[in-house]
Structure 1
Amino acid sequence: MAALITRVLDLATRIATQCKSIKTLINGNTADLSGLNTTIKTNLVAALNELKTELDSVASAGGATINDASNASATQTWSINRITVKITEAMNAVLNNAPAALDTLDELAAAIGDDANFAGTITTALGNRVRHDTAAQGLTDVQKQNACANLGIGNPDTNFVTTFEAGLV
């Protein structure tokens, strides 16, 4: 088992290594800052200062201002509060007071059994129903017998004459 001093020294070394990485990044000694969209790419602090200068320039030139009273434009935008309200309104319009158990796409998918072919499944299921608007549904004999049983009318091939004659004996 490692001694406590070894563990503390390991921790101190790791912290120092991480601090050196952060210091290198801030002071501009890092290997690659080419991803920065600023002209100054050798120093993160200088790049941030360049960005601040650009933002100050936009503001002093009458750049975009926050105006919650009008629609957003090239020179005006809404505050984060107004944007949040608009997003919430849009979400509420889509949800239309749906119950909490059905207010996300995941919950809706679960409600239909996560069936990616739900429309096809329902169409097939509807096709397997007894229709009342046509006599030519094309049911098999087994399907006809099942439908009659489910409707409580028994077997359509029952010979009632035989039943009647048997009752006369």
Structure 2
Amino acid sequence: MNTTEKVSLVAAINEVLQLAQAAAGAAGASIDDTAASNTKTYSSTKITGLLADLKNQILGGASAAYDTLQEIEAEIGNDKSALANLLTAVGNRLSFADAQSLTAAQQLQACTNLGIGDPTTDFVAAYNAAKA
């Protein structure tokens, strides 16, 4: 569904509502659940279903406690450090897509987590010692 309103979800939904109302009010307008146009509109049942589907897609199965932006804002607002903690946790993840500067302790922990051992191991020296 294309709208000219790209900044606000509410404004985009209102634009769709206005278009639907205009289509319904146009001379010769009729209801057609297979295709909307300038002379045809979807039934209220079809429109309600499409809006419910859009809501489900946006919310992605969020529980009723977090199914509005106001509820999400209130929850984040209750714990000012929650967002900062989340961003810190995300920032502390090892990235395979970006170059990272890690301390020696972070490198050791990352290598341990990956099961590849100590990153400071001198394998040439170990090889030469084993060969001798």
TM-score, length of structure 1 as denominator length: 0.34
Indicate the structure whose relative CO is greater, using CA pairs within 8 Å and at least 6 residues apart. 2
Which of the pair has more CA radius of gyration?
A: 1
